[in-house]
Amino acid sequence: MEFKQIDFPKVALKVLELIIVKPITLPLKIYTNALFALSNTDAKDSEENNLNLDFPLYIWLISIFDAIIVIIYPIGIIAAILGGINSYRAGFAVFIYILLITYFSPLIYGLIRELAQISLKVLLYLKLIVRK
C-alpha cells in the first residue's frame, strides 16, 4: 500500500470514534452484555450448562462479575443521590462525580471478567469440538 492510498479523513474519523465515542458507549454495552449473560444462563449452549459440572467455582466467579456489573448502576444512582444530598458543599458536583464514576466502573469489572473468561471460552470451545 502506498502513502497516496491512505484516506486521511477516514483515518481521522476512526481515531475520533475510538478516542471519544467508544469510551462513552462501551460501559452501556458491557452492562447490556452482563444482563444478557445472566438472563441466558438456562440456554443449552451457555457456559454454565456446558462447564458447570467440570468447573463450578470458575463459572461462579464469572457469574459474580456479571452480577456486580448489573448492580453497579442501581447502587451508583442511590449513592449519587445520597452523596449529593448529604454533601456539605457542592452537592450537585458530588452527585455528577459519583454518577460519572458509576457510569465508567463497568469498564474495570468488564475487563477483569473478560480476562478471566478467556480461558473459560477456550475450555468451552474444546468441549464443543470434542462432542462433535
Domain ranges of the chain: 3-131
Residue 106: strand, helix, or coil: helix
Q: What is the pLDDT of residue 87?
A: 87
Mean local confidence (pLDDT), 64-75 = 94
CA distance 42 to 93: 43
Task: Return the axis-axis angle of helices 91-131 and 22-39, rounded to nearest 10°.
Answer: 50
What's the predicted TM-score (pTM) here?
0.77
Place of cell 447502587: 75
**Lowest pLDDT segment from 2-6, 42-46, 58-62, 124-128:** 42-46
Nearest alpha carbon to residue 105 among 130, 72, 82, 129 = 72
**Lowest pLDDT segment from 8-22, 60-74, 108-122:** 108-122
